[in-house]
Amino acid sequence: MTIQQAQNTVDEWIKSTGVKYFNELTNMACLTEEVGEVARIIARKYGEQSFKESDKQIDLADEMADVLWVLICLANQTGVNLTEALEKNLEKKNKRDAARHQLNEKLK
């Protein structure tokens, strides 16, 4: 699935099943909540925290997909074409960071 197909699929689902988009502020809060759920898993799986019994069944991939879903909703609501945005962002990084990381002594 391309990014554009994902944006179209989410839009179709919202309009047919989800009734309508939550407003942008609500979706921003939802995005923050979903990112927090990813952070919780990462902190327990790769950090020093241990899993609670209730956390053991949580799926990192599913939580990441929730983040992507809400991000796509926000992009659709605000008229952002994520394919174009990512392409522009990569171009910016390639110009700005062409040698930056290779020259970073902290990364060697």
- Summarised one tens digit per residue, pLDDT across range 29-50 is 999 999 999 999 999 999 999 9
64 φ, ψ to 5°? -65, -40
* Per-residue pLDDT reduced to its tens digit, 59-91: 999 999 999 999 999 999 999 999 999 999 999
The answer to whether residues 79 and 11 touch, using CB atoms and an 8 Å cutoff, is: no
Return the pLDDT at 101: 83
The residue among 61 and 58 whose pLDDT is bigger is: 61
Kindly tell me if the per-residue pLDDT of 55 is higher than 90.
no
Phi-psi bin for 49: left (phi > 0), alpha (psi -120 to 50), beta? beta
Which tokens go with 53?
């019994």
The answer to whether residues 67 and 34 touch, using CB atoms and an 8 Å cutoff, is: yes
Average pLDDT, integer, range 3-23 = 97
Q: At what angle do helices 24-45 and 60-78 cross, to 10 degrees?
A: 160
Kindly tell me if the per-residue pLDDT of 1 is higher than 80.
yes
Domains defined along the chain, listed by start: 3-81 (1.10.287.1080)
Return the pLDDT at 52: 84
